[in-house]
Amino acid sequence: MSSFAVPVPDPAAHAAAVERLDGLVKPLGSLGRLEELAAWLSAAHGVVPPRPLDDVRVVVFAGDHGVSAQSAYPREVTAAMVRVFLAGRSGVTVLAAQVGASVRVADLAVDWDASDVPDEVTSHKIRRGSGAIDVEDALAAGEAQAAFEAGRTIAAEESGADVLIPGDMGIGNTTVCAAMVAASLGLPAAEVVGAGTGVSGGALARKTAVVATALGRAAGRSTDPFERLTALGSACLAATAGFLVEAAMRQIPVVLDGIFSATAALVARDIAPGAERWWLAGHRSTEPAQAFALKALGLTPILDLGLRLGEGSGAVQAIPTLRAARAIIAEMGLLADLA
Ligand SMILES: O=C(O)c1ccc[n+]([C@@H]2O[C@H](COP(=O)([O-])O)[C@@H](O)[C@H]2O)c1
Ligand SMILES: Cc1cc2nc[nH]c2cc1C
C-alpha cells in the first residue's frame, strides 16, 4: 500500500482551460497538442492561465554501474562528465542555457575520489558504483530507501522551480534500465535492450544476455518496487524515483527525459500511484525500453528528435513548446470578441 497521498491536478482549472481554449480565435482544436499541454499546465498550476515557466531546473543524477562493460564507452567517463557538468560544457548545460534553465549535478554513486568537488555535489552520495546485476544485487539492504529519500530531499531543495527535469549520467545505465523495465512489465530481455551509447552486433547480444541473466537472478523479486531497485536498479534510479514522487507531492510539474527518467517513473508510479499525473514525457528516446515504460505510464512524448544523450537534454528541448502552450491560453484573443 502506498503511503504517499499524491494530490490530483485541479480538475476545475482543467475544465476552465478547455473552455477558454475552445473559445480562442482559431478553429476548434486546431492547436492540437499545444491545447492539451495548456490544459495540463493549467490543472497542474490550479489556475488559468498557468504561471509562466520562468524557473526551470535540471538535476543530473550521476552514478556508476557494475554492468558498465556493456557500454560503448569506459566507466571513467561518468566521473569525467561530472567535471564537465560543473564546468558548464556538457550537452545539457549548453541546451539548458538556451532556455534559461539551471543544471545541478548530484553524485549519488560515481566511482571516484570526489574530494576536490564541492560538497553540494556529493552530499547525497550513497555508494561508489552499484553491483553488477547479472551476478549480484545492485544495492545493499536499505540503500534503495536511502537513495529514494535523498531524491526526495533534492526535490524539496529545488521546490522553488516552476518545472523540474530529472537528468542522468552513468555509463552502463541503459543495461540497468532495460532490466528494470523488463522486470516491471514482464518483458523478455530481447524486447527492451537497445544500443545505449552505441553498441551493436556481438556487444548488443552480450548486453541482452546480461539483462536476461539479471532477470533470471532476480526472478520473484520484482513485485515490490524497493526490492526491484535493490536487485536490479541503482542508487540513481532510486533517487530519481524519490525526486519524481516528491515533485508530485509538492505539485511541481516534471518533464521526463529519456530511458532513465522513464524507468525511474515506472518505479515511482508503483511507489506512489497517481504521481504520473504530474509528469510529462519531454521526448522520445531511441531506446525501446523507454517506449514500453512511457506506454505503461500513459505518457506520449512531446518531441521526437532522435536524441539519445540523456542528462536531461531531451526534456529541456520541450520547454519552449510548453511555454508556447502557456502563451496561447494567456495571450490569444477570443472568438466572441471578433468584430
Ligand atoms: O536518455 C536516453 O534515452 C539515453 C540513451 C542512450 C544513452 N544515454 C546516456 O548514455 C549513458 C548510458 O548508455 P550506456 O550505453 O553506457 O548504457 C548514460 O550516461 C545515459 O545518460 C541516454
Ligand atoms: C561523452 C558522454 C557523455 C554522456 N552524457 C550522457 N551519457 C554520456 C555518455 C558519454 C560517453
**CATH code for the domain of 226:** 3.40.50.10210
- 42 with 84, same domain: the answer is no
pLDDT at residue 3 is higher than 90? no
Ligand 2 centre to CA of 45 (Å) is 34
Taking only the tens place, the pLDDT of each residue in 140-181 is: 999 999 999 999 999 999 999 999 999 999 999 999 999 999
35 in contact with ligand 2, CB cutoff 6 A: no
Does residue 1 sit within a domain? no
Residue 53 · residue 74 · CB < 8 Å:
no
CB 292 within 8 A of CB 5: no
Q: 273 in a domain, yes or no?
A: yes
Assess whether 138 and 23 both reside in one domain.
no
**Assigned domain for 278 exists:** yes
Catalytic residue (choose from 35, 246, 287, 311): 311
Is the Cβ–Cβ distance between 236 and 105 less than 8 Å? no
Query: Does 159 share its domain with 233?
Result: yes
Q: Is the CB of 303 under 6 A from ligand 2?
A: no
- How do strand 279-281 and strand 254-256 relate by DSSP bridges? parallel
What pLDDT sits at residue 60? 99
For the cut 90, the answer to whether the pLDDT of residue 204 exceeds it is yes
Mean pLDDT of 329-334: 98
Report the number of distinct structural domains present in the chain. Answer: 2
Question: How far away, in angstroms, is 258 Cα from ligand 2 center?
Answer: 13
pLDDT tens for residues 14-64? 999 999 999 999 999 999 999 999 999 999 999 999 999 999 999 999 999
Q: Is residue 89 part of a domain?
A: yes
Same domain, 302 and 207: yes
Give me 254's grid cell.
516534471
Q: Does residue 237 lie in a domain region?
A: yes
Ligand 1: list residues with CB < 6 Å.
71-73, 168-175, 196-197, 257-260, 285, 287, 290, 308-311
Whether the pLDDT of residue 133 is over 90: the answer is yes
Q: What is the ipTM of this complex?
A: 0.99
| Nearest ligand 2 atom to alpha carbon 171 | 9
CATH number at residue 28: 1.10.1610.10
The verdict on 122 and 258 lying in the same domain is yes
Query: Which residue has a Cα nearest atom 2 of ligand 2?
Result: 77
CA 126 to centroid of ligand 1, rounded, Å: 21
My answer on whether 171 and 44 are in the same domain is: no
Q: Is 73 in the pocket of ligand 2 (CB under 6 A)?
A: yes
230/255 same-domain check:
yes
Say yes or no: 111 and 187 in one domain. yes
Determine whether 311 is an active site residue: yes
Using one digit for the tens of pLDDT, what is the confidence trace for 65-120?
999 999 999 999 999 999 999 999 999 999 999 999 999 999 999 999 999 999 99
CB-based contact 230:147 (threshold 8 Å): no
What proportion of the chain, given as a percentage, has pLDDT over 90? Answer: 98
Q: What is the pLDDT of residues 117-132, one digit of tens each?
A: 999 999 999 999 999 9
Mean pLDDT of the chain: 97
Q: Which ligand is nearest to the CA of 92?
A: 2
Are residues 146 and 293 part of one domain?
Answer: yes
Q: How much is the pLDDT for 229? A: 98
What are 231's three cell numbers?
A: 536487485
Which residues are CB-contacts of 299 (< 8 A; sequence separation ≥ 6)?
Answer: 256, 262, 265, 276, 279, 280, 281
Residue 1 has pLDDT above 90, yes or no: no
Contact assessment for residue 121 and residue 82, using Cβ atoms and an 8 Å cutoff: yes
Distance from Cα 175 to the centre of ligand 1, integer Å: 9
pLDDT above 90: residue 2: no
Question: Residue 53 is placed in which grid cell?
Answer: 515557466
Indicate whether 188 pLDDT > 50: yes
**Residue 71 C-alpha to ligand 1 middle, in angstroms?**
9
29 and 132 in a single domain? The answer is: no
Residue in the block written with cell 560503448: 72
Q: Is residue 198 over pLDDT 60? A: yes
pLDDT tens by residue, 135-147: 999 999 999 999 9
Range of the domain at 259: 56-321
| Domain co-membership, 24 together with 66 | no
Q: Judge contact between 102 and 56, C-beta under 8 A.
A: yes
Residue from 309, 311, 317 to probe ligand 1 pocket by mutation (most atoms less than 8 Å from CB): 309
| Residue 6 resides in a domain | no
Q: How many Å apart are CA 162 and CA 254, to the nearest integer?
A: 9
Residues 145, 225, single domain; the answer is yes
Say if 150 falls within a structural domain. yes
Q: What angle do CA 177, 182, 185 make, to 5 degrees?
A: 120
With a cut of 70, say whether residue 214 has pLDDT above it. yes
Model confidence at 339: pLDDT above 90 = no
